[in-house]
Structure 1
Amino acid sequence: MGSVASSAARGGGETALGDLPESCVAEVLLRLDPPEICRMARLSRTFRGAASGDGVWEAKLPSNYARLLAAGGSGGGDDDEAAAAAVAEEMPKKEVYARLCRRNRLDGGKKEFWLDKAGGGACMSISSRALSITGIDDRRYWNFIPNDESRFHTVAYLSQIWWFEVRGEVEFCFPEGTYSVFFRLHLGRPFKRFGRRVYSSEHIHGWDIKPVCFQLSTSDGQQAQSKCYLTDPGVWINHHVGDFVVKSSNDPIKIQFATVQIDCTHTKGGLCVDSVAVKPQYLTKKKLSRTYV
């Protein structure tokens, strides 16, 4: 059908797809998401040219993209931020978008941020090594163990403790929008046997007696709290901590988060703490795995 239409266009003097002005094509691409733009670029030279234009990709970038690129792409500190931002302004915006969609590491590799390829929203992952964990220095209670299911290849494993408390914070210039915070937890110690994923339930106990409390607060006064019993061993679960709103992408916001179970009438153990995730709310609309109160 396409070849017939193309032949008719050439023979009858009608306008073919490749005759469209690049500016008109760019107006169409502005209404598509990034993966669709990349697919449309394959149609013709005109579409390919329009799909590489700065105007198309700058519209998909967060307004503080230069600052984000400086934070993760230059490898420098605060003194280098202005210079890195100037470089970002000179780069093709398609390349800026591609770089921000990769892992951009912070805090010596203990934190990572990236853009969601489809929607352009900013995401962040914070390693267990960047968290403040009560008793982490005592191997009778906690150990860091290797795990290839973690973005950071290491998780904190709890054998047994009376006072369970894990806290963390991050200060970052998130683009404007609503974000959700999650703790990624796993009951049981996962490992592989003969190439198959299994887990040990040896130390799992205490989580069905009292719920775990999840807490969130921000530097501008936002707060959230929820509770949940930990069940379903052998599965990584993203436990919802709460949501917060960023109103200005130019001002850093500090978020503090925690998961605690400090009822000292019983011990608890057999838990892996992988990381904390911060994601745009539009990515978290799926049904949550737990009922929170």
Structure 2
Amino acid sequence: MTLDTAAYRTLADLVARVRAGALGPDPATRRIAVAFTTRQAVRHTGRGTGYRNEVLSLRLAEAVGSCAVEPGTLPETALDDCVGADVARLLGHPLLPVRVAALDAYLAHVAPHAPQHGAEPVRLPAGSSLAKSRARARAVTELLDLPAGATVLVVGVVNSLLEALRARGLGYLPCDLKGGVTEWDEPVATDALAAAERCDALLVSGMTLGNGTFDPLRRHALRHGKQLVMFAQTGSAVLPRFLGQGVSAVCAEPYPFFWLDGGPGVIHRYREDVR
């Protein structure tokens, strides 16, 4: 059994198919039992800078769907809106992160990350937060099929990913809506589409689902025949549905994320030619 990866023109098309019951049971019959947020502040040992994360997660039966948000931007009422609500209602919620988390929970419920759905499990060893971050970065960057010297647009700056690209002899342009500089004082662009014109491939965070920038980047990759690899804590069950529709590979990391536990973990890789 493989995932239905019909030619969705946009994220909204996928939502419409789910609401119509085309990919599984009627979402109006599936209710969110638990809604919660996870907040994190981190500065890895040996690194000079840190960052914060905030993630909205929704529990549907055995599945958890997640969407990262900018810290402090999620209204306090969001959890009350979600808990006990049916998925169909949440797919029409005015907040995009709620819609993404609900979609992610539903798709993880109907097609869990498993080899029969095209997923390749990759074990992450136990270790420090930095060791696990670097292990995940290697697993993500291995999905790029590029010669040394190629340039990768990295949307959603993760220093371990930049390290892993350099180790492979790949150049990169870091991009993030917040701007700033990387750990190595490299300037971070804020206009991903403009930067994409100067890159051979795209390595993009699933957070783009929650801020509305995913579809333009996917269309760019599709139009120009560029590899688009997604690393996804946000929308880990959503993004594999776009394989072959601009997305060439996905490293899916459902909740709980690697930074929550020092023990061993697992992530799931999907490739366009393995479906």
Which band: TM-score by shorter chain? under 0.3
Q: Which has more strand, going by share of residues?
A: 1
Q: TM-score, normalised by structure 2?
A: 0.25
The structure with more radius of gyration: 1
